[in-house]
Amino acid sequence: MNTPMPRPTDDLVEALAEIEHEQWMHWSQAVAPKVLTGIAENWQKSWVDYTELTEELKEADRVWARKVMALLRERRLIE
């Protein structure tokens, strides 16, 4: 018997977006010393907790969270 998977909620998208933001911070901080100073300075403005981001920056992370959700649906891990 197949038990239906729970439908993902906005809370799940937010949690995935927060993880995506943490991943980006980790990556960008690792490569920042190797890139032009101007770029690194712009990135530093976003090196804050996800909850402190503007809605525009949060939405950029949500885009990637939704891609993860789509992959999970494609693999039938969620509905």
Report domain extents, the chain: 11-74
pLDDT of residue 77: 80
Q: How far apart are CA 37 and CA 14, in angstroms?
A: 31
Q: Taking 70 as the threshold, does the pLDDT of residue 40 lie above it? A: yes
50 vs 40, which has greater pLDDT?
Answer: 50
Q: Taking 90 as the threshold, does the pLDDT of residue 58 lie above it? A: yes
CB 53 within 8 A of CB 44: no
